[in-house]
Structure 1
Amino acid sequence: MKEKIKILSELSKIRITFFVMVTTGFGYIAAAEMFDLNFLLVLLGVLLLACGSASLNHYQERFTDALMERTRNRPIPSGRITSKSVLEISVLLILAGIVLLFIGGNILSVLFGILNLIWYNGIYTPLKRKTSLAIIPGSLVGAIPPVIGWVAADGNLFSLQILMISFFLFIWQIPHFWLLLLVLDGDYKKAGMPTLTGIFSKNQLARITFIWIIATAISSMFLPLVELVETEIVKYLIVFSVILLSINSIKLLKYSEENNSIRYAFRNINFFVLFVISIISFDKLIL
């Protein structure tokens, strides 16, 4: 049983899918300024849908996973589970997620959930084998979950608030991925996947990524401008976190092959996004 749970956890990419659930909850709270039973159903539905999508991705990339050092011990290439079983698990998770999302949300939230599934598994996954710039359209995958939460809470789809939330999360994913690329570039090349290091040197890519990190930081400062933040202290905390992230990211301008600055920057930008989401949610619920 312990091994089965471990396999399911790996197939679900639980650390990533959990964050998808968090951003969905952020969208719901931003619209409703509260949480209830429907909130929990929507979160669980999105989590199951995201886990199903992640499992389907394992099935889609089972051959390239076998070629990469980082992924060759994943459940399918390591032989711990058959590809057929993974496909069956992914279908069950997706269907369960859709049902819960419909019960807790509405048909619009279900449609956005299905759109995200199609975009990730049907568009981004095959596209990244063809172009090193796939992450740019692929970043829509991270921008859609808060929209699911927002419309599930009956928020106006064309509100500037949800558009800015989605834009913020869209921008963040690009440096997030490129920081990973700077560490795992060799693995991607081994699997025959195109990478930006075929166009830019790692030093150049580190500097470009620094610019995108600054863009992510600046985009967070638009959140208070669309009235997502009500208290002054939260506004100051966002400004402080922007300054801190910007200063700490300067190390990327002096990139070295040791990758210490890259790992440090990767941790910082992810923590920054989680911090901004958390304090705005707290502001909506408590203050």
Structure 2
Amino acid sequence: MVTTGFGYIAASDVYDFNFVLILFGVLLLACGSAALNHYQERFTDALMSRTKNRPLPSGKISPAKALEISILLILSGIVLLFVGGNLVSTLFGILNLIWYNGIYTPLKRKSSLAIIPGSLVGAIPPIIGWTAAGGDLLNAQILMIAFFFFIWQIPHFWLLLLVLDEDYKRAGMPTLTSIFSKDQLSRITFIWIASTAISSLFLPMVALVQTEIVKYLIVFSVILLTVNSLKLLKYSDEYSSVRFAFRNINFFVLFVVSIISIDKLIL
């Protein structure tokens, strides 16, 4: 919802009733996609400590009912996207659903590198908002926004992997720790975090930022994120540095989105 709203504001400099419809459309579509994912992964979820108490593996709801709820949420989300936006934004919403549930979900059972194509799921929501507001798909601003969110998804997932690696292995999922040691993966993840930070510096270069203070705030946040993530260069089994980096990179993205949105709407 946040990244979709960011795309809408970036294209229009306003928020209106259609903005609300688009956000709720994406919310319902995302909930439907998540419910469908629970249905698809109900057997592997039962094997993982993190997911064994979800409604399906715990027996709180039947697979048929979960599928029914998923379809209802997906259809409701598609309708709201079409009413609040247009055909293009609706098609991108459907594409994200297909990419997550139809491509990424089965692919992650086969490849430890599935997150790389799977990161498109994070790049598409701002495009939904952008096109719903009438933005041009070939505009450099939306291409840069989508790239920024694409890059962020990779360290976001790999930081989770560093903590939940054994859980994924119990479920029979291929993980990068079969290729790299956790120490190596920690250092690789730091490089991706730094790449995410640096990619945010391109946002002002495509005229997304109007005021100098916001540009300085982005630069400051880039330095802060990078310095705070240096702890990843020395991996610790206590996971404190990993959890700290996970919170930091998510707060960083939220901060960048928030200050640019405020800049577009108010300043």
Q: TM-score scaled by structure 1?
A: 0.93
- Counterpart CA distance in 2 for 1:283 and 1:169 is 19
Quote the residue 1:78 is aligned against: 58
**In the alignment, structure 1 residue 198 sits paired with structure 2 residue 178:** yes
Amino acid at match of 1:196: L
Quote the residue 1:133 is aligned against: 113
- Counterpart CA distance in 2 for 1:256 and 1:46 is 38
Given candidates 89, 95, 103, the residue that maps to 1:109 is 89
- Counterpart CA distance in 2 for 1:69 and 1:48 is 27
- Percent of residue pairs bearing the same amino acid type: 79
Quote the residue 1:60 is aligned against: 40
Quote the residue 1:49 is aligned against: 29
Quote the residue 1:69 is aligned against: 49
Given candidates 221, 224, 231, the residue that maps to 2:211 is 231
- Counterpart CA distance in 2 for 1:56 and 1:176 is 22
Runs of 5+ in structure 2 lacking a partner? none
Quote the residue 2:18 is aligned against: 38
Question: Could you give the per-residue CA deviations for residues 158-188 of structure 1, whole angstroms, max 9, x where no partner exists?
Answer: 0000000000000000000000000000000
- Counterpart CA distance in 2 for 1:40 and 1:73 is 33
- Counterpart CA distance in 2 for 1:271 and 1:281 is 15
- Counterpart CA distance in 2 for 1:145 and 1:78 is 31
Question: Could you give the per-residue CA deviations for residues 27-62 of structure 1, whole angstroms, max 9, x where no partner exists?
Answer: 000000001100000110011001100100000000
- Counterpart CA distance in 2 for 1:51 and 1:149 is 17
**In the alignment, structure 1 residue 162 sits paired with structure 2 residue 119:** no
Superposed counterparts of 1:232-271, under 5 Å: 232-271=212-251
SS in 2 for 1:23: helix
Tell me by how many angstroms 1:254 deviates. Answer: 1.1
Amino acid at match of 2:102: G
Amino acid at match of 1:130: K
Quote the residue 2:76 is aligned against: 96
Tell me by how many angstroms 1:260 deviates. Answer: 0.4
- Counterpart CA distance in 2 for 1:265 and 1:65 is 26
Amino acid at match of 1:143: A
Tell me how large the CA RMSD over aligned residues is: 0.3
Amino acid at match of 2:128: I
- Counterpart CA distance in 1 for 2:253 and 2:71 is 31
Q: TM-score scaled by structure 2?
A: 1.00
Runs of 5+ in structure 1 lacking a partner? 1-20
Quote the residue 2:67 is aligned against: 87
Alignment coverage as a number of residue pairs: 267
Quote the residue 2:252 is aligned against: 272
- Counterpart CA distance in 1 for 2:93 and 2:30 is 9
Amino acid at match of 1:111: L
Tell me by how many angstroms 1:278 deviates. Answer: 0.3
- Counterpart CA distance in 2 for 1:47 and 1:153 is 17
